[in-house]
Chain A
Amino acid sequence: MKRVLTPEMIEQMRSEIYDTLTDSTTSHEQKVTYLARKAENFLTVLDEPEGLDELMRCDIDTRCICNLFEGDAPYRPRYICIDFPKFLREGSAFLQLGPARDFSEALTNLMIMYHNIPSITNYPVFIGDLDELLDPFIKDLSDDEVKKALRLWLTTVDRTILDSFCHANIGPKASRLGYLLLEVEGELENAVPNLTMRVARDTPDEFILAGIKCALRSAKPSFANDAMFRSELGDDYCIASCYNGLYEGGGSYTLSRLILSNIAKRAKNIEDFEKNVLPWVMDVMARYMDERIRFLVEESGWFTTSFLATEGFVRRDKFSAMFGLVGLAECVNLLLEKEGCHERFGHSEKANQLGVEIMNIIEAFNNNHYNPYCEATDNHFLLHAQVGIDSDHDCSPGTRIPIGEEPDELVDHLKVINLFHKYFPSGTGDIFPVDLTVHQNPQYVLDIIRGGLGMDIRYLSFYSSDSDVIRVTGYLVKRSEMEKLDAGQNVRQNTTGLGLGAAKNCKILDRRVR
């Protein structure tokens, strides 16, 4: 069923466009992005499943499906993770670049490539395994030379890639470039790029500690359970955007999310939720995603015309799609209340087990849903614990315990996390502000990371409770930039606005300090 735009809707959209281009708090680049999205939404090209309007285009308090501003005519994949080793090795005809022969060429070529990778936000969400890509080029350079070049290059990344969904990877092997990069990132305290260190059993403690010291200053890297991702996605996985496990040389077509907290509102009780309401909403969302993917692959022409695809930097059959969800905690609490039980998610065995039961239903649904273009992941989507958006209210990211309700003891918190991370190959994670600076004991964090590797814990982030750069939900912002924006000034990065909204609506500044 194709959507029909009424004259009232068109008037409304015209007025939103006017508001966008006269908004005093958005920069020019931000306006261009938002205007393009509004233009896209004048099209009605998707054959949408019945029920979508009711579930998605409705009041925020009843919305059960959210397409995360993807727009109504997908013309590029949401997340593109290109094969950077191939690019540095071979160059690109479209970009008129040959193979990179030294460190300067590698850095310059990468920067040029970044400018040409689209995404949902128009900025690249994955910028490579920087240590593996660049380490071979620094053999003849001194530490100081490498650090100077990295400092300039990373500053350029921060000032030109204007949102912090841009993600770089390092590890699991230690390398000289990896150490130098962490040193420089610690000094710069920039929000971009986001950074993940993949940690394996044989990743040296020294390297992880260098990562932790960097994180206590600049809120990155986060730490990914390498063995877990590898067992699910194979060796060519990468971490993109907030914390999304995807294929390098591929990516994700699309991401929609179930707003479980609102879906629970529609159910009479737990049984009604599990048997009727949730399956119906999942079915509508899955068919909506199928249609978005169909249009993108079969009609938009992206995969047949973009140089990224035609030159083989991505392959269509290495793309999948992300079946997201938020608000499991609030969903569980509400369902239990409907049954007259006041136990809370994160604090009671019964509530946590209901969470597990719901996740098993979602996982089983996904394993039974077939999409012809997700061959990379056995024709199923990948589950994703979405980190939330600034307008979310009474709805925690993914399966997280709500801020303000964290268990007193971190060990109890970790044990809850351990129940849920395993469901999400395309990303989940938990965030802990820590107060360690005076005690000089980064090994404390190391022990927690190492402990997590031996369990089903996928992804952990830490930041110092007193640092300027902080992790909002998945991405990073600077407190100082949020304050500027709050005072009505323009700021460079889109994500600062999202961070400010999250600070106001989602209490992200009130996390329990560990």
Chain B
Amino acid sequence: MVTATVNKIIPFSCVDGPGNRTAVFLQGCNFDCKYCHNPETIHSCVNCGACVPYCKPQALRMEQGKVRYDMEKCVLCDECFHHCPHGASPRTREMTAEQVMVQVRKNMPFIRGITVSGGECTLWRDFLAELLTLAKAEGLGTLLDSNGSHDFSGDPGLMAVTDGVMLDVKAWSRQDHLAVTGRDNETVLRNLCWLAENRKLTEVRTVIVPDLFDCTETVEAVSRILSETGSTATRYKIIRFRPMGVREAYKSLPAPTGEQLSRLRDIAESYGLQDVVTV
């Protein structure tokens, strides 16, 4: 079995898709969003050991050139990744899909499914396919939380075990998307249409940062696509930018006002969307 670097597993989550789900967060992301709320999940640990001296409860130590992490001692103070020069976290585990499922099964029968998130979960495509296959065998639902950089239409094997994707649409124009994430969005937008048409689109999210990209254009275009594909019942989550967890350089990005958010909601609803949530 292949392994993935697992950042954390949240046994019960009420914010990662409908119902109660176990959320599995995989390490590593191919986007570099300025407003990223958990930048420590972007890169992988290079075992430089810079974090070790900052760990007061001594849950971290260097051993044969590797950073070792002792979950029992950890107090989740987050000092390690705040001092990481590489945008990574030492608090990760290499796990097989079966090892993750052992953790997931402990939460049954209280969960309806799992959601795999990140980082960007599709960077671990083969692991993902194994994990979702095991989850399906337990009768659990399977959702992916993705930035949309993986071409889902070209991966029928993965889609066969995926109930739905919760897709981030960070910005509509290529230019804006480059500014927000450092990557273009051709695949993201193709995925938006393809997932909607194939009834695999569970939710779309856009984080609103007024000065960073054209939020109105983005919300309007996403709403239009949802409307045109007959996906008006799909939830569209319009999320207020919050500085919590964001890197110092971008913490001061301005958050939208309540008025701006409700204007965006009105736009989405004007396209007939029935489940617009602003948070």
Contact = CB atoms under 8 A, between A and B. Distances in A.
B19 interface: yes
Contacts of A440: 277
9 contacts: A409-B11, A411-B11, A411-B12, A439-B279, A444-B14, A447-B20, A451-B111, A452-B110, A514-B12
Given A409-B12, A436-B14, A443 B20 contact: yes
Contact of B19 (A414, A444, A514): A444
A439 B277 CA distance: 8
A503 interface: no
B18 interface: yes
The A interface, classified by DSSP as helix, strand, loop or mixed, is helix
Contact of B14 (A439, A450, A455): A439
Nearest to A435: B14
Interface residues of B, number: 16
B107 interface: yes
Interface size class, chain A: 20 to 34
Contacts of B20: 443-445, 447-448, 451
Q: What are the 7 A-B residue pairs with the smallest beta carbon separation, nearest first? A: A451-B110, A447-B20, A444-B14, A443-B19, A451-B109, A447-B19, A444-B20
A434 B19 CA distance: 14
Contacts of B277: 439-440
B111 A441 contact: no
B37 interface: no
A81 B19 CA distance: 36
B106 interface: yes
B23 to A, nearest CB: 12
A439 B15 contact: yes
B112 interface: yes
A445 B14 CA distance: 9
A452 B277 CA distance: 29
A410 B11 contact: yes
A438 interface: yes
A447 B140 CA distance: 12
A219 B125 CA distance: 43
B106 to A, nearest CB: 7
Nearest to B12: A410
A441 B109 contact: no
A434 B277 CA distance: 19
Nearest to A514: B12
Contacts of A434: 14
A411 B108 CA distance: 9
B167 to A, nearest CB: 18
Nearest to A438: B279
A472 B149 CA distance: 49
